[in-house]
Structure 1
């Protein structure tokens, strides 16, 4: 059986929605930047890439209309490289990476790129497309399909008796660990500013 391996990684630093350094950076810019650097770090010719699979949960605005294809073009890959976008909400990027690996293992491709991106500032705002954004039957029969992650978190918190205090402690611990890792340079090899 063929084996898929990750030979390079590249990502942008994490930004702040609505006010950070990436506040007005388009989806193709974000994705293209990472793809370009990941391909360069792998030491391969961009024309050798068989497919690019990108995940995004809110595919509209500049992250709509096949963000994978837009990103690979922005990265300078040739038009012969195909692109596919995946939407599995919070797991979109992970699913894109799994799909890219599956294409190597099961579909006979040689080189694929998988990743994810999101631009909250550019899609979750007053200009967000809300025209016919929900289906009446789904709203009546399966309303949980439209549940936000905030609502989901409240349900999980209540179901498993996780207090707000415990959540806040975990959040602070996570921020502290991230700060320490950044200070120690643990992310330096993966971030491409």
Structure 2
């Protein structure tokens, strides 16, 4: 058994080494930047549409990387709240940023992972030889596009279907379902969330996000009916110092009177955008562009709609298995904190050490 473990360890090491190898056809990242994250409806981006956020981010990214915009062959933008996933206004944002009309455009909506799926879309197009360079992004303006109810409707026939109608369950209720099904307590959720706030506050204070945030200038009206002014936004507005499990314990449940999910242990409503410029390694090297990282693989899984947030618990093992590596080979796991319940379950299910999980805080704090 000891010898078998040694051999398995060597196999894992060889797979990890293979991932680190450099090949001309690798998909590489030559720029990965974002705006600061603003607080929806009361933050610095409260009057700024997603199209403007995106156009300014694209402009600043091209300026920062020095990449010739004419090299971009396709743009994929993930979005949930805009009508038609923002296909019209985000194509307009692409053009306004200086990306030529020869670059194709596609809008993509895969709920919380829309931005990630945009990256996967561009990366896979490079892998299969369809393009050599593409831009992937995700953007939301929850200030200007907030929808309280379901984003779609079911026909009467589907409303009677037991499986189909689960797709209309509010996300907050799915969080309560996860807590009940997997026996996750309110105390666990509040302690987890307090850690997220502490990590994010420390990351902001120590400047850990400075290199990834591109400042964006916007107009804002401070008082109703008052004059607007131009401000430069370069700092996340969500993180707060001094949040403790005890202070979170005083908040009332948001979705069920006897529930455990509330405003302090769920993700915030926010405005912001992020973008990743991907390129074939041979092209990046021939142009002399700095390479920040290498795209290896992505994996998507389906889970029951009534516990929709547990996707990472099953997508992570699948992508590790496909890459031939283990949890031990990965230094950092960034797992969506849509709700503390689902992130706690995902961490437990995958056996992710605390030190490796969201080291700079997650969506609860950001």
**TM-score for both structures, normalised by structure 2:** 0.48
CA distance, structure 2, for counterparts of residue 3 and residue 71 of structure 1: 28
- 1:25-50 Cα deviation digits (max 9, x unpaired): 11111111222222222221111111
Q: CA deviation at 1:69?
A: 1.3
**RMSD of aligned C-alpha atoms?**
2.2
Residue 41 of structure 2 aligns to a residue whose secondary structure is coil
Q: Deviations over 1:33-92 (max 9, x none)?
A: 22222222222111111111110112329x633454122123221222211110000110
Larger RCO, structure (CA 8 Å, separation 6 or more): 2
> 1:11: how far off?
0.6
Instruction: Please give the residue correspondences for 1:127-166 in structure 2 after superposition, counting only pairs within 5 Å.
Output: 133-136=152-155, 137-141=157-161, 142-166=164-188
Is the 8 Å Cα contact of residues 56 and 85 (structure 1) preserved in structure 2? yes
Aligned to 1:17: 40
The Cα of 1:190 is off from its aligned counterpart by 0.7
Q: Is contact 2:40-2:143 (8 Å) kept?
A: yes
Q: Distance in 2 between matches of 1:154 and 1:66?
A: 36
| Superposed structure 1 runs of 4+ greater than 3 Å apart | 65-68
Q: Which moved more, 1:175-184 or 1:34-43?
A: 34-43
CA contact (8 A) 1:138 1:145 kept: no
1:50 aligns with 2:73: yes
Does the 8 A contact of 1:35 with 1:113 survive in 2?
Answer: no
For residue 40 of structure 1, what is the aligned residue in structure 2? Answer: 63
Give the whole-Å Cα distance in 2 for the aligned partners of 1:53 and 1:182. 29
The answer to whether the 8 Å contact 1:52/1:68 transfers is no
With normalisation by structure 1, the TM-score equals 0.88
SS at structure 2 position matched to 1:29: helix
**Residues 71 and 133 of structure 2 are in contact (CA less than 8 Å); yes or no, is this contact kept in structure 1?**
yes
| Match 2:51 to one of 18, 21, 28 | 28
Aligned length: 189
Q: Which one has a larger percent strand, Structure 1 or Structure 2? A: 2
Q: Secondary structure at the match of 1:104?
A: helix
Q: CA deviation at 1:103?
A: 1.1
Q: Using the alignment, how far apart are the partners of 1:107 and 1:148 within structure 2? A: 40
- Where structure 1 has 5 or more consecutive residues not aligned to the other structure, the ranges are none
Segments of structure 2 that go 5 or more residues without pairing to the other structure are: 1-22, 216-366
Kept in 2, the 8 Å contact 1:54–1:67? The answer is no
CA distance in 1: counterparts of 2:56 and 2:201, whole angstroms? 24
Cα distance 1:172–1:110, how it changes in 2: closer, same or farther (>3 A)?
same
Q: Which has the larger radius of gyration?
A: 2
SS of 2:136's partner is: strand
